[in-house]
Chains A and B, each alone.
Chain A
Amino acid sequence: MLKAENLVKIYETGFVRKRRITAVDNVSFDVKEGEVASLVGESGSGKTTTAKIVLRLLPPTSGSVSFKGRDVWKELKTREQLVDYWRKVHAVFQDPYASYNPFYTIDRVLKQALRLVGVDRNSEMERKLIEEALNYVGLSPEDVLGKYPHQLSGGQRQRIMIARCWLLKPNLIIADEPVSMIDASMRGAIIKLFMNLRDDYRTSIVFITHDLGLAYYVSDKIMVMFKGRIVDIGAPDEVVKHPQHEYTRKLLESVPTLYRKWRWV
């Protein structure tokens, strides 16, 4: 479904003294239909940069991304092709608040999604689909419709983003830290919704997180990123029980455990 090959991204910063940062360093991976692949690493390891390249939001310095056999950076040219790509490869971000316009009620993000799939404004179909989408993510329409983003909790806002995914039925969702700003008590609920999309529609998911514990429960495949490179890759049990790379071990040791107290030295 998705194939990233030898992605490199070098940022140049500074006006006087040019500094080059290799944010992504020769990254290759693929995601199959219905597969959940996690990209795990600490802050600054290059996860979001990789996601932006895949989403065709940020050009790579070199390397290629192909989706269903077409080169995303070379072959998609017209506005229509791009809009179609972003419908099929859809992003869900960390801060659901940033995905909303604070001046409009949340109905708007759902209605806009319906425009993309050709459902008429103010039609009976529109009303019915929105209701179904909200039910799918466990929200009752009367609780959330007509509300402004700030009137909802982070969990509710993120659920609505998933309702939007349900309306668009993308082939691939790129979820960048979708639960890191959500209370621990609600993370499981959001994660289950992603899993449902995968089970019901064979949606593929690239799940980005700094928390290897979380990745352990959502993924078919875990890719550990460190300083722009993928240093460890494998099934969750392999990576967590038999980490290959020193860094994977460090990442694992940083995840707070509930039933075991760390020894402070």
Chain B
Amino acid sequence: MELHNVKAYYRQLVGSTHRVVRAVDGVGMTISEGEIIGIVGESGCGKSTLANVIMMNIRPPLTLVDGIVKLYSEGREAVDLQRLSREELRRRIWGKEVAIIPQAALNALMPTLKIRKIILDVMKSHDPDVDEDYAINTAVRRFRELGLPEYTVNMYPFELSGGMRQRVVISIANLLNPRLLIADEPTSALDVVTQKMVLKILMDIYSKNIIRSIVFISHDIATVRQIASRIVIMYAGKIVEEGSTEDVITHPLHPYTDGLMNSVLTPEDEVKRRGVRFIPGQPPDPSNPPPGCRFHPRCPYAMDRCRREEPRMVQIDGNRLVACWLYTSK
């Protein structure tokens, strides 16, 4: 999948003035087959909006202002998702090519519906004429692959333990073997023991080839590094750094990435030595971002140029990308 210069804004009417929230503002990235990409950034930087753009699930007040989202498939012509109608997306793309586990979904299943009914609803949303037995059998097979007993389909969500519930949600999102799964902060609301279990389940469906690629979204770089092969760092609607997980962790380039790493509190000697730190200040108001580099009000290295001109993405060491004046010669 390829994203080119994607801009997705929320347009709101506040009183009589239009407020435009530039949630995703010129993002380009490539998601390759077989890859697990981690997207890291603070709350409000546009991660969920980007997830919706990748799905092309765009509804007012969100509008796609600019950009291309291309989906490639083997032996077929590439599809420009932004040209498809919602109806076409639902029929051809969602669930089959690209699926999402929305933020906070792991704890949210309709409590009054049997799992069986939830499965049928999901399957019918893709194909209204789907055979019910076929649908349930598909689910049962998927459940078994993830270690859920067959009778789970006849239970209510509240009868399941936390771990079973998360397995059910992940199974249902992946019923149709999508090639790409987007997991939007799947672990952020969970305790660490459950977080690890969810990461394991995701690794499980990935290594069983039920899905081919994952976009894993989180504000916690320590969580992302456990699962992602490549990390994308987002700040105020833009990508500021991208690279292989090992490169980014061992040698972060962008001052914001450095700040994120420095604020993580894990029980490790490296962290103990540097002590409790944090990034000062707040992310900017996305309807009125600062000029120049959007990180400059919080950046310890900010120079004059940073306040005036926006840094462009540059390539470093072959396969690393960073948008920061520290890395631009001249």
Contact = CB atoms under 8 A, between A and B. Distances in A.
A186 interface: yes
A192 interface: yes
A254 B263 CA distance: 19
B265 A262 contact: no
Contacts of A258: 221-222, 225, 249, 261, 264, 266, 268, 270-271
Interface in B240-286: 245, 249, 259-261, 263-268, 270-272, 276-280, 282-283
B196 interface: yes
B193 A185 contact: no
Given A216-B267, A257-B268, A259-B249, A42 B192 contact: yes
B162 A187 contact: no
Query: Is chain A's binding surface mostly helix, strand, loop or mixed?
Result: helix
B200 interface: yes
A155 B265 CA distance: 17
A213 B43 CA distance: 21
A254 B279 contact: no
Given A185-B219, A186-B279, A261-B226, A256 B268 contact: no
A251 B193 contact: yes
Contacts of B249: 258-259
B267 A153 contact: no
A184 B220 CA distance: 6
B222 A192 contact: no
B266 A188 contact: no
A6 to B, nearest CB: 26
B2 interface: no
A259 B272 CA distance: 12
A257 B265 CA distance: 9
B271 A191 contact: no
Interface residues of B, number: 43
A264 B270 CA distance: 23
Nearest to B190: A43
B265 A183 contact: no
Nearest to B250: A259
Contact of A256 (B42, B162, B191, B225): B225
A184 B260 contact: yes
Given A43-B191, A188-B276, A257 B219 contact: no
Contacts of A210: 191-193
A189 B278 contact: yes
A260 B268 contact: yes
A189 to B, nearest CB: 4
Interface string A210-221: 111110110000
A261 B265 CA distance: 15
B266 A255 contact: yes
Interface of B: 42-44, 162, 189-196, 200, 203, 207, 219-223, 225-226, 245, 249, 259-261, 263-268, 270-272, 276-280, 282-283
Given A185-B219, A252-B267, A259-B266, 14 more contacts: A42-B191, A43-B191, A43-B194, A184-B265, A185-B42, A186-B279, A188-B263, A191-B276, A211-B191, A255-B267, A257-B226, A258-B270, A259-B268, A260-B268
